[in-house]
Chains A and B, each alone.
Chain A
């Protein structure tokens, strides 16, 4: 880090730009995350709005994935991980006793970096979530859910003739869309995406990005990405994380033409930061 950037980072007391939105779906307030003694996230406050894609960017190890995983308590399984501050979904606190993590994850779905379909058929991959949550009363209903989920993920036409084929027989991009179909089959309210295109080729990436834009109509979406161009393409708001701090939040169109903070500028223009 250059001296100037270091100074700017040390001087950073609060996030630049407006972190709240008028109609929030999820709200994180003053979130700190610790792994054992090491603090991974410092005092992050950020809203996820309805019908909006918020992109989180930043260099490796900046805490963006950690923060994303706090939003559906995927960090629970790491025993040393401790989250303080408050995260709410529609006003309900995520980390309160009343919130069941299983129910929460049905409401806040997640798509991962590497396409990870289950070792089951395409049909069973999508049907799995509705099955365990008891969302379908009979086979016909389940069929409908599977079909509509695959439709919405833009995969149905490609796989309708081979629903019983293993999920892993699909190409990487198709697998990722299968994972998205699997996630939306549970009808979540929020979809979290952790670098969903990092293992895909540009054409598959473009499809997923198109899909994300379509899904925005019905879901609140938070996406972590290493590709700034992707953040610029798919998101309405962008949040820049740096060494565990949320440096700047703003409309994507502003962040990518005229960021306010020097660190943001350095990162998105590819300067030493």
Chain B
């Protein structure tokens, strides 16, 4: 290179490097922005959702006597179920605040404790029959309003935010009356309130009462639905991909099939829901709201994704391997099963899990087949009515009670955890099957 050339090149260098810097700057900005949004999103969900895993409990002394419970000491287990546990709880609260006499006040007083507390008491007595006739000290689940208030506020003596206190920053936002606040304060002063981890969120199904609502039913529903989706879509998709990639002749028909598969991948998911509703429920009379139908619909939706990624994985297997096997006299099926498929497996599994993750987050088609119902019972089989996590999120987000906000975020957290676990599985499976030799 002569000097003139060197000079000319040198003159352009600065500009070139500047361009590179600008480009890199754009990239970093984009990544930073998306990371920022992610942190913001996760942070807000975490802040809102973490309280969902905790619940407020009130410490109460309860008399478990024949009089209060309205059953005899030698009652059978069935009779015990029918005992007047709510009466016992109300009695205990009234004993604690003897000054309460008015009916309205009494109702407000019993409203401090969750309506589910009596079931907890029933379970307790069923396990501890020897406590019958004694007065026991128990932590009872508080009502959602109480729960919200205790979790959020330390000082209960502030005025309530309504009427003239509208603009007072430290005023309490609550539906509780001033009487109730007073009783709560006395509980608090006595050290009889406690906020601690509660498994309710994971063990209960849905409920109208936020403090009793859990995601168990939705979680099991999601698991069943995904299981059906996997069992249906994986073999069909892999078989289709292998056929199209390894055996199908290249002609107009296979082109048509290919175009259609690609189109299906882009069809809005609600269309699959409508299809499921029309064919599986209306025509084939399959059970409504059941994971089996949801699974079928979702596998229809997932199939194209898995087929496309499986074909890509099969295509990525070097043709030299196929040639080598064929050259040794392996039959076409042997070539595929012995050599091509094992090499393509990591890619196929990754595609499958991405497809399943998509299915896990899907709501729209499930709404169409009735999986949006209010399901309290934990589904026992794939034909039981159930709901799934994203639909549960959708339902709770819609609910009026303020305490459902934290449940919604909590459910989202569980859903995200589910997704992370699935993706982690994908990575691990790929690591395990990947043979870079």
Contact = CB atoms under 8 A, between A and B. Distances in A.
Main secondary structure of the interface of B (DSSP, over half): helix
A112 interface: yes
B427 interface: no
A112 B343 CA distance: 20
Interface in B311-365: 318, 320-321, 323-331, 334, 338-339, 342-343
A8 B342 CA distance: 52
A4 interface: no
Interface stretch (A45-53, A152-160, A166-174, A203-211): A166-174
Q: How many interface residues does chain B have, given as a range? A: 20 to 34
A256 interface: no
Q: Most chain-A Cβ atoms within 10 A of its Cβ — which of B249, B326, B339?
A: B326
B326 A106 contact: no
Interface residues of A, number: 30
Given A79-B249, A119-B339, A119-B343, A112 B329 contact: no
B19 interface: no
B342 A119 contact: yes
B328 A116 contact: no
B435 A102 contact: no
A182 B318 CA distance: 18
B325 A118 contact: yes
A109 B323 CA distance: 11
Interface stretch (A10-18, A126-134, A231-239): A126-134
A102 B324 contact: no
Given A79-B250, A119-B339, A105 B320 contact: no
A70 B318 CA distance: 22
Nearest to B435: A119
Given A112-B320, A119-B342, A119-B435, A183 B327 contact: yes
Contacts of B283: none
A218 B324 CA distance: 22
Given A116-B323, A119-B343, A132 B435 contact: no
A54 interface: no
A221 interface: no
A110 B330 contact: no
Interface string A172-199: 0000000100110010000000000000
Interface of B: 249-250, 318, 320-321, 323-331, 334, 338-339, 342-343, 435, 437
Interface of A: 72, 74, 77, 79, 102-106, 109-112, 114, 116-119, 128-129, 132-133, 166-169, 179, 182-183, 186
